[in-house]
Amino acid sequence: MEEHPDPYDEAAREAVELANQIADRHQDADLWDISDGLLMGAIHYWLYSRQPCEDPMCEECEPVSNSDQRLVELLRLVEHFARESEYFHSANDVSIGRA
């Protein structure tokens, strides 16, 4: 029986694969430009998906019921995902002590 991936995991994996494909096609491109473009697209899609419904009293939409609340939630998630990443710390970080 074939297992279907969780959409959350599939989206994350596909985003990394897309970035790698773009980098392969444009080998002279700056990787920061590719990652910034991917991040911009992800943010646009996230904001689109978090639009509150038409019911101003909707409890489910309350955490994202205005643009400031959406930004707070987006920034919270960005920090969470960044800190979870295996790439968050680097051996070349300036804050790392050197002996």
> pLDDT tens across 7-65, in order?
999 999 999 999 999 999 999 999 999 999 999 999 999 999 999 999 999 999 999 99
Place of tokens 């700056």: 30
pLDDT band at residue 94 using 50, 70 and 90 as cut-offs: confident
Query: Angle of helix 7-25 relative to helix 31-49, nearest 10 degrees?
Result: 150
Q: What pTM value is reported for the model?
A: 0.82
Domain containing residue 77: 54-89
What's the whole-number average pLDDT of the chain? 92
Same domain, 42 and 78: no
Domains: count for the chain: 2
The predicted structure's pLDDT at residue 4? 76
Same domain, 14 and 40: yes
Query: Angle of helix 67-84 relative to helix 31-49, nearest 10 degrees?
Result: 130
In sequence order, what are the residues at sequence separation of 6 or more whose Cβ sits closer than 8 angstroms to the Cβ of residue 5?
Answer: 13
Is residue 11 assigned to a domain? yes
Is residue 65 assigned to a domain? yes
The predicted structure's pLDDT at residue 93? 85
